[in-house]
Amino acid sequence: MPTSTSAEASPGLRWDIFCRVVDNLGDAAICWRLARQLANEYSLAVRLWIDQPQALSRLVPGTRPGQMQDRVSIEYWRDDDSRLTLTEPEQLADVVIAGFACELPAGYRHCMTLRRPVWINLDYLSAQDWVDSHHGLPSPKADGLTEYFFFPGFTPESGGLLREADLIDRCERFDRNPSARFDFLRSIGIDAEPGERFMSLFCYSDSPVADLIDGLTAIEGRVPAATVMAGKTVMPVSWRLLIPEGIAPELSVRCGVRRVPFLSQTDYDQLLWSCDLNWVRGEDSLVRALWSGRPLIWQAYRQSGEAHRPKLEAFLNRWLKIAKLPEPAATAWRKAHTAWNTAPDPASRALISAALPPTLDQLPALAAGARRWRTAQIEQSDLAGRLVAFAAGKL
């Protein structure tokens, strides 16, 4: 179903977003970004109901239930909360978003049958072809309510991607400032030395991080010391892997690893902008890395029976179609993703080490492709705008 690109909201409309935290970070991060954008860019009255507010407080320091943060009312979602179990119809929102198919509170759902707000199920991001035909479809319920499926995606026919109005401008200002990268890295305890390049790593617990570090160590072992070429001193390249606290804690003392604090959403964007290659996972960090315009390697959420593979392949195909990489770069990028997303076992240990050298050799081409992808994608409207337009058509 095609999605309107016009986004006109009636200021003051009330939106309730419900979020049950599953992976402790991604769900909370996405629902918060959406809530903040709706409140600030569309002047909507937004309440974010979240069942684990402590997860949100890690991403947005200072956030506490029962208070306003960036014009969003943060609410602790407990099923025994009288505001949810004894809700009067006039207290309900005009638009209700169930984050990632979460089940709405029973009392709240009952009152919805009396007021009939627009009910949207915000689903997970996918690049698969079926998203376009399923996006926006209604699902009538026995109680007379209708739930609408809203699928984030990469095409004009999907729900789009989260992107604040000023995100690309902020990134480009960062790029134009020659000291921004070093100033930011210094602010999180990293002093960059001549010849050092940086990767950020945000991954799941079953990632082959040790093999990645071994591969980087092997690459550096083959690099000669500083040499003089054409009258200039050429420094060897040393890769530093920046890993947030709590990710792969057993590898803290490995050579080349630099620990950084667990970062707020704002600082995480700057970390992505500061790195030459970003290893990301899930949905939220993938989208932020895509908007950074830097090369990335994505780890899909692993599912039994390799069910995540079609989702990974669909993303690779769609990204490569727009990025227009030369064949050696496209091949290296695909192999790196295959290695990083292969189930860990002794037979797969050498995959990432073998895929790493050609990937790093192709970084200039990958960086150019990442910028081409971003330039093409920002011509589309963003997820929040499409949500507002969709809801306006149902009110």
Q: Which residues are tagged catalytic?
A: 27, 283
Q: Kindly report the backbone phi and psi dihedral angles of residue 62, in degrees, each rounded to the nearest multiple of 5, phi listed first.
A: 95, -5
For the beta carbon of residue 135, count every other beta carbon within 10 angstroms.
Answer: 24
Helix pair 363-377, 284-292: axis angle to 10 deg: 100
Question: Is there a contact between 268 and 291 (Cβ–Cβ < 8 Å)?
Answer: no
Residue 81: Cβ-neighbour burial (10 angstroms; 0-12, 13-18, 19+):
middle
CA-CA distance, 32 to 55, in Å (whole number)? Answer: 11
Tokens coding 147:
């739930």
DSSP labels, 13-49: -EEEEEE--SSSSHHHHHHHHHHHHHHHHH--EEEEE
Burial pattern 201-225, b for ≥16 Cβ within 10 A else e, equals bbbeeebbbebbbbbbeebeeeeee
- Beta strands 67-69 and 72-76: pairing type? antiparallel
Which residues contact residue 351 at a Cβ distance below 8 angstroms, ignoring those fewer than 6 apart?
A: 208, 211, 338, 339, 342
